[in-house]
Homo-oligomer: A and B are copies of this chain.
Amino acid sequence: MSGGLLTETQIRRVVEMALEEDAPFGDLTSAVFVPEDAVATADLMARESGVLAGADVVVATFAAVDPRVQVQLDLADRDRFGPGDRIARIEGPARAVLRGERVALNLVQRMSGVATLTAAYVAAVEGTRARIVDTRKTTPGLRALERHAVRCGGGRNHRYSLSDAVMAKDNHLALLDDVTAAIRSAREQLPHTTHLEVEVDRLDQVEAVLAGGVDTIMLDNFSLDDLRAGVELVAGRAIVEASGGVTLDTVGKIAATGVDVISVGALTHSARALDLGLDMVISSAGVPGPGRQTTR
């Protein structure tokens, strides 16, 4: 989906919160070591291969610090890069560049880490019908950014939150005498626009769930054989999602069972920050100087 779903409001809130957290009462070092009129040029460099996510976040971070900072992007979100590639050049007042540096890096490194890991999962299911989707196992406060990163890596999103789709788990169902009736009743109460997904643990639960009328059935922690059997049993009556025990090693085989959707918590909860850094030159009073600083 288009990047349009990561809104400027969402980015601005994260960036402002992060900048506040990183300097609640000013930057002592700049105040004593960096002249107010010093300028800096900083190159955002890749030190390893990956997929970019967060270019807008970098731009927004420096804009929030000081609108005089210029960010020129060499790459766009979804682009792949290798070690040594320049992602962006940042120029402006040195104090402002230094102020935004750590926050911008912390965000773009994490987001690109998610995008890169997602791309690996997506590559592993190429040629199958399965889409790789994220989960609610995102970093608190950064869900919108991480979902965007998943899209940058070629993945798709699952529901955003508890508020925009229903997912009933087995122990929701365990409460009920008649699963089919309960699903029908839920459907009756829910907005007609609400997607209704139900999770099952065993093949013998599938028919009762389908009889209630669901949009997606999730087969949780099924063996590959059971997944294949499940796909066959559902036979197009609902979208089939596989979940549980998904790794880069297993995801291709899971996809080969014919499921429609594979949800992978690891995309967001276990991606590591990608190795990106700023190469910076600060010059006093606009005169280019020799000092190079590297921040990762």
Contact = CB atoms under 8 A, between A and B. Distances in A.
A22 interface: yes
Interface string A155-191: 0111111111111111111111000001001100111
Interface stretch (A71-79, A118-126, A264-272): A264-272
Interface in A195-242: 195, 197, 215-216, 239, 241
A128 to B, nearest CB: 15
Interface string A26-55: 111111111110100000000000000000
Interface stretch (A84-92, A130-138, A249-257): A130-138
Interface residues of A, number: 104
Given A7-B26, A165-B28, A272-B269, A172 B33 contact: yes
Nearest to A271: B272
A32 B136 contact: no
B141 A14 contact: yes
A171 B9 contact: no
Interface string A259-295: 0110001000110110000001111100001111100
Nearest to A23: B162
A129 B197 CA distance: 24
A70 interface: no
A137 B4 contact: no
